[in-house]
Amino acid sequence: MSRFDVLTVGNAIVDIISRCEDSFLVDNGITKGAMNLIDAERAETLYALMGPAVEASGGSAGNTAAGIASLGGKAAYFGKVAQDQLGTIFAHDIRAQGVHYETKPEGTFPPTARSMIFVTEDGERSMNTYLGACVEFGPEDVEPEIVAQSKVTYFEGYLWDPPRAKQAILECARIAHENGREMSMTLSDSFCVGRYRDEFLDLMRSGVVDIVFSNKQEALSLYETDDFDFALEKMAGDCKLAAVTMSDEGAVILKGKERIRVEATVIDELVDTTGAGDLFAAGFLYGYTQGRTLEDCGRIGCLAAGIVIQQIGPRPLGSLSKAAREAGLI
């Protein structure tokens, strides 16, 4: 029997979200639309320059876990925080959303990770992340019984940055596969793909990873091409199942020779794209672990993503389960 539908593994981060003009990004050397890794000094500098901000527990895989729980799924999470105020906030928030979270906090230094997210008028988010305590996540933080009891274990590509986290992920994959479970990953962003292209491809081709989530830009980056159809063909051959999002064009699901197109959810207003891919993965994996068709999985994913981009912050403020029921999806 499965205790959990999905276990997610990632960088436990508190997001600090503020609106800004494009000129602010230029003036401060921030790469628009990317996740920029920064040190503690840069984090302090950017925080001082921020306008009014909203603090929200985030981190890509944490957002996905919260989305799965909001849909009514059973979710668990591994991720490292410090014994400090932000760490307490993170743990409270993710548990309050119904996610099982018991990773032991790591002292007071390095402090809990935080990401300064600047949202421009077009809704695009530019993330500046100080990883802090995240880099302490390692094999000793893997809870074998949780992995063994989860239908799917999902990790974020961003977690491939801290070296010891790689060992933890590979240990999760070993336990998952020994127990007849599946492994999934998100490519996270095109810059992350650029750093680890060969390693990500090896994870897919070797069968360490069964299910891959990507957006269009990440797929093109993975195969170093401008030809999207070519990238889709290659990805379909490199993993058992993939879901590729295409912003307002929806998503395409790849399984062998199958190509399933799913339309994007119609929205009233684009407010903030933070968490869009994370919530798509949440909806898809919720459907997948409930035995739904791949088309239904994609539709639930698009609904969840469409809801989160109409609000500030990366986690659903209302019940996704209610929204999905109203849409006739669950």
Residue 274's pLDDT is: 85
Does the pLDDT value for residue 240 go beyond 90? Answer: yes
Domain map of the chain by residue range?
4-327
**Rounded CA separation 216/213 (Å):** 10
Residue 326's pLDDT is: 97
What pLDDT digit, counting tens, does each position of 275-299 carry?
A: 999 999 999 999 999 999 999 999 9
Work out the pLDDT band at 161, boundaries 50, 70, 90.
Answer: confident
End-to-end CA distance of the chain: 22
Residue 314's pLDDT is: 87
> How distant, in Å, are the alpha carbons of 22, 132, 218, 274, 298 from that of 33?
11, 22, 12, 10, 24
Residue 313's pLDDT is: 84
3-state SS of the chain is CCCEEEEEECCCEEEEEEECCHHHHHHCCCCCCCEEECCHHHHHHHHHHCCCCEEEEECHHHHHHHHHHHCCCCEEEECCCCCCHHHHHHHHHHHHCCCEECCCCCCCCCCCEEEEEEECCCCCEEEEEECHHHHHCCHHHCCHHHHHCEEEEEEEHHHHCCHHHHHHHHHHHHHHHHCCCEEEEECCCHHHHHHHHHHHHHHHHCCCCCEEEEEHHHHHHHCCCCCHHHHHHHHHHHCCEEEEECHHHCEEEEECCEEEEECCCCCCCCCCCCCHHHHHHHHHHHHHHCCCCHHHHHHHHHHHHHHHCCCCCCCCCCCHHHHHHHCCCC
Work out the pLDDT band at 241, boundaries 50, 70, 90.
Answer: very high
What pLDDT digit, counting tens, does each position of 38-75 carry?
A: 998 999 899 999 999 988 888 999 999 999 999 999 99
Question: Do residues 286 and 73 touch, judged by C-beta distance below 8 A?
Answer: yes
The tokens describing 96, both together, are: 């309050």
CATH H-level superfamily of 4-327? Ribokinase (3.40.1190.20)
Does the pLDDT value for residue 255 go beyond 90? Answer: yes
Instruction: Kindly state the average pLDDT of the residues 95-104.
Output: 96
